Structures are given as C-alpha cells and as structure tokens.
Structure 1
C-alpha cells in the first residue's frame, strides 16, 4: 500500500482517478486493479427498483461515488475524512498542494485558494464545495445542514464534494442525469432494437448524444463489419453450449449449424453478437441492462436499449418504444397483447459455489424474434433478438 494517496481536485470534472460522467462499469473495472488502495468496496442500491435508482459505491475510508439512476454515470464524488492516515492523502488544486495529510484543510486556506464565494454553512464554488460536518452524501445533496457552522477561520474541512458545474443551477434536480461530458464520448447513448431486423446504435460525441449511428442487421452484418465499426471485441467466445437446441423443431440440424458459431463480446458497450461459423454473419444480438444484484452485473456496461414497435403508417417517424427502465409486464403487453408466453427458469449461479445474490434466478420469455431475460423483480436484465 502506498504511504500517500495523491489526488488532484478538478472542479466540475473529478478527483484523482475518478472522472465525472464515467460509467459504473468502467469505474468498478478500474477498482479491481486498485485493491491495494481500496481493499473494501461496497455497492449500495435499492433492491426494489435496481434498474431505475441511483447506485452508490462506498470506498473505505475516503470516497462515496454516486451514479445516476438510468445511465449509471458518475454523478457526484464525495471525498471524506481527508486526514485519515490509511494512507495519508495529499490534495492538489492546479499547482498548489492544499492538504498534505499532516496539515488539516481549513476554511481560511480554502478561501485563499479558491477566492470569495456566497455565504452559507459550506463553501460552495462552481463544481466543488467544502463541508465542515460529517453528514451523509444524500443530506449534502439536498443542500441542508443540521449544524450551524460558526465563521471560524480554522474550521476543518470534513468533506469535499465534486459535481458538474451545472448541477448547482437553480431549479435542477440534484439527482438528474449527468450532462454530456468528454468521459462519455464514444459510448452508446441509445440502442434502438428493430425486431426481426437488427439494432441501431447511437453514440455520444462532442456535438451531442447522436453524433453518429450504426445499423447492425441480422443476417447481413459480418464479423469484419463489427471489427471495423466497433473495434476489436473484448473477447471472442466459441459457442459450446447447445442445450437450447433441444427446443428447436429440428434439434440435430440446429446443433450441426451451431457447432462452429462464436460470440463477439463487447463488454464496454453491453452487447454480444452471435456470429455464424459458416457465413460469418450476425445471427443474434444480446443487449444487457447491467442490473445491480443480477448474476451478470458488472460483466457488461449498461446498454440503454429501446424496443421499437411497428409505426402506424409509412410517414410515422416516431414509432412507439419500450425501454430498459420499463417493467416486464408492460414490455410483454407491448410485444404481444395476449397473455405472456410460457417461460423457462434460468439460474446463472447453479454452477457457482460461493455466490449469494438477492435475485439469482431469471425467466426466459420468448416472442416473435425476441427473448427477454427477466429477474424476480420484473426487470428485464437482457434482450436477445434473432
């Protein structure tokens, strides 16, 4: 373990290795390589609505990281107890060290470094504010304090909170989604599923959330196309599980056709592509919701998918859609107004010995061209189109 943890404060942008707008998936992936710095990481979320509520990462002893509810983007960074000696923290702002561990960060030093600001219980500046009590993150986000703070020049800073600069605008909900920032460039902003056809991917870029788009078509897009358009996959996995073939009308033919199929796994986009080993064309597409508490949580980044329905007429440019935030019952009725089709139970932990999850089993519901994987809380954790 390092004797000193060196961090730079970037108002409206981040602290140290943490950048506002980063995805939950990328932050946890990075933390797995930093266990020497953060040996204890707690993931906190609402068990009732895991796909639509904020997620908090608690990194002992210093950080609370708040991620937005829908797109799982780093929204707020809270640095606590900057004088904790395990390890010592050195804080830098631009070219100045404002806290070195041995010397506390006090009110007068903040004022000298950042300049004057509006009166209040905390010292607030665009994109960063300093608190002198130990209230929780949620209390700080509401902007209230239960203790009056005397105008004491030597009052010690207990918490440093970094948010986007526009997060403090009047009338804006402090838990709104993160606004576009460089950490989001290149990520998928929307994945519009066109049943029986494919998926249209829209990407974040400097000009907005739909700077560019990519249409991946079933039976037309090749593995080479994916390499060119999406880059090299995170992993290439050769399919060796043929158990679902038993449900095919011609199981022997199905097994033979699938014996050389392979997956392109794009973990950083939350998408898998099953590719024919014979034609090298895309056969199936799987989009993952990255629902906390589900067996596949953190294997894939959240893919913000939308299931598109049939347009009312040829001139309808805004057909109805259901999104990853909608409950299974609503999506099922959208796909088929009749009763939901029979489902199969799927337990992804049955071959894992030491895994305890609040929702280990899911159900697979099949429709025309679509399979939904649904957890016990009626949240769709994955969509497969074929």
Structure 2
C-alpha cells in the first residue's frame, strides 16, 4: 500500500481548492486510471448508492471500503487542510467517478455526487443507466424515472438540472440551444435538440429530500443536508465532564470516574474497538518534572472507543484510568464515528 499527498478539496473533476492536505491516498493493487470496467451499484433516491447510505458516519463508510478492497482499490481522502471544519470531508473514487461528501462537523454523509456517469452504472427498478454502454441521456432518464416538474437552467454554467425527490440530473446545454429555455425552464419535455440529439447527464446528486431542497451543481450543492438522527441515537451524544472526577453520558447514562479499572470501563461501555500501547516520548527521560518511573510510561495504554469518539488512557502501573495523564478526547475530525460534546 502506497501513500501520497492529495489536494485539499475536490470539485468533481475540477481543479482542487486550497492547500495540500496530509490525507493519505491508499493505492492497493494497481495504478489509478488503469481500466477495470464500470461497476454497477443500486441507486436509492433520497437514501444512497450501493453500500453507502446518506447520514452514515464516515467510519462506517471506511468499513464498507475495507470490506470490498477489490472493488474500491483506489480511494482518495480529501479535506481543506487550513480550515478542516469549513469544507466537506470527501472520500473520492476516481476510477468509478463519484464522491462521498461528509459534513465536516458531524462527519456524516450528506451528499453523494456522481461526476462521471460513464464510469459508474446505476441500477434502478431492475433497469440500468450510465456506464460505458448505457448512456444517461435526458430521454433515458425521463423514460426511467418518469415525468417531473420542469427543471432549472443555469445560464452562467450552461447546465440544465432535472429534479426528482432526493435525486437530480444535470445536463450540459450547448450555447446554440439556449433559446429552448424560457425564464430558466425548458419549453418542452423530454428535451430534444433540433438536430434530433438529446443531452447526456454530466452529474448526478443523491441527497436527503426531507427538506424539499433542490440540490444540484454550483451553489445548489450546499443545500444538501445531513438526515436527522434516529430518536435515542448515541451519535453526537452529549457528554458532561467533571474535571478530575468523571464523565457522564447523557443518553446511555454511563458514568466513568477517573481511577476506574479496565473491567469497570468494559462493564459500562462494552468491549473497546481497539487497545493500543501509548507511544513513549523519548525526551521525557530528561524531564525532572515527570514524577513517574520510566517503566510506568512504557506500560501506559489506551482503550479506543471509536463509536463514541473517545480514547481512555490507563496507567500501566496501577491499571486504572490515569488522573495525572488521563486524556479524554473528543475526536472531531477524520477519526471517530461520533463527535461527543462536553
């Protein structure tokens, strides 16, 4: 597995925005761009594509990717390095022509953007559209998904967007045919140019339709929202911290005091997602202010609860949550499933 630096943000085939980020780009068995054929994913308007569901945490998306390494073997992870909470966190599949856009605060999937329909074939109601063999033309889209209200024409971009609940299709319109549009709407459906041709989809967006927002290219992309969490969900659970004493989980009701043993934590929070040895700072041996023996530093370890967004540091000498060196961390970016707040 190789790693390389990646542009900070993506625009679906457009130039990257921002400075380079430290995100790694796993490349598993082949070089990007080598042909492997278009894949076919089920399209669920307003819900998702294939294994990726709107509202899913970013950690769940990575699980899906890792479970199918032969399918998703070239993956780019991109974000805005200078202000990571300002722009979307993006998982991109360049060989398959689509992005997963995650809200940077909640790290939940808000928009699926297919920017190269020729690379990804979609299955809907037992019919196929897209890919190299089935063009996603305006006529084909109209035949497959049925009639809908007239779309919107973006004169500046030369793009006409057709909207369905939780789904939109963008079509490039040649400048010589702008007279087909009246006040931004097409005069007749299904759209066909005077020469008998019909435009081909250049972008597909799948988004939550609970707000009745029309999501498409340009500024319309910002209207995609993260679906509401189910009642009682532990995701984004509020956590109350009493410094030096304990933390309380408001939904689950767990109470974790400092000094608790690994068995106590296991009983309250369940099996940890991982257990890792604390890295040793080699310079700490020169610090006279460190009161603990060197052997203690080497034995400290973490319980990782990715599902709750926290790490728990245990003292390797007394095997309890360290009060002097204990770290309760709310993993906000690119690491955890939840963003706990204190």
Same topology, TM > 0.5: yes
Per the alignment, do residues 108 and 17 of structure 1 end up closer, same or farther by CA in structure 2, a change over 3 Å counting? same
Indicate whether 1:114 and 2:140 are aligned: no
Per the alignment, do residues 79 and 242 of structure 1 end up closer, same or farther by CA in structure 2, a change over 3 Å counting? closer
Aligned match of 1:224: 263
- Residue 157 of structure 1: which of 201, 218, 223 is its match? 201
- Residue 285 of structure 1: which of 327, 336, 340 is its match? 327
Measured after TM superposition, the shift of residue 249 of structure 1 is 4.6
Aligned match of 1:335: none
Measured after TM superposition, the shift of residue 166 of structure 1 is 2.1
CA distance in 1: counterparts of 2:147 and 2:168, whole angstroms: 12
Aligned match of 1:142: none
Aligned match of 1:190: 238
Per the alignment, do residues 118 and 281 of structure 1 end up closer, same or farther by CA in structure 2, a change over 3 Å counting? same
CA distance in 1: counterparts of 2:209 and 2:330, whole angstroms: 31
What whole-Å deviation, never above 9, does each CA across 1:266-287 have from its counterpart, x for those lacking one?
A: 2343321112445543222331
- Residue 124 of structure 2: which of 64, 68, 93 is its match? 93
CA distance in 1: counterparts of 2:41 and 2:98, whole angstroms: 12
Length-normalised TM-score, structure 2: 0.66
The secondary structure found in structure 2 opposite 1:77 is: strand
Per the alignment, do residues 148 and 112 of structure 1 end up closer, same or farther by CA in structure 2, a change over 3 Å counting? closer
CA distance in 2: counterparts of 1:126 and 1:168, whole angstroms: 8
Number of residue pairs the alignment of both structures matches = 273
Per the alignment, do residues 147 and 59 of structure 1 end up closer, same or farther by CA in structure 2, a change over 3 Å counting? farther
Structure 2 unaligned regions, length at least 5? 1-34, 152-159, 174-183, 193-197, 215-219
Aligned match of 1:80: 115
Q: Is the Cα–Cα contact under 8 Å of residues 68 and 176 in structure 1 kept in the other structure?
A: no
Q: Is the Cα–Cα contact under 8 Å of residues 8 and 93 in structure 1 kept in the other structure?
A: yes
What whole-Å deviation, never above 9, does each CA across 1:209-228 have from its counterpart, x for those lacking one?
A: x5x34332212x33223323
CA distance in 1: counterparts of 2:48 and 2:336, whole angstroms: 21
- Residue 52 of structure 2: which of 18, 42, 46 is its match? 18
Measured after TM superposition, the shift of residue 68 of structure 1 is 0.9
- The structure carrying a bigger strand percent of its residues is 1
Indicate whether 1:123 and 2:171 are aligned: no
Aligned match of 2:40: 6
What whole-Å deviation, never above 9, does each CA across 1:258-306 have from its counterpart, x for those lacking one?
A: 5544321223433211124455432223314354xxxxxx4x2165344
Length-normalised TM-score, structure 1: 0.59
- Residue 46 of structure 1: which of 39, 56, 80 is its match? 80
The secondary structure found in structure 2 opposite 1:233 is: coil
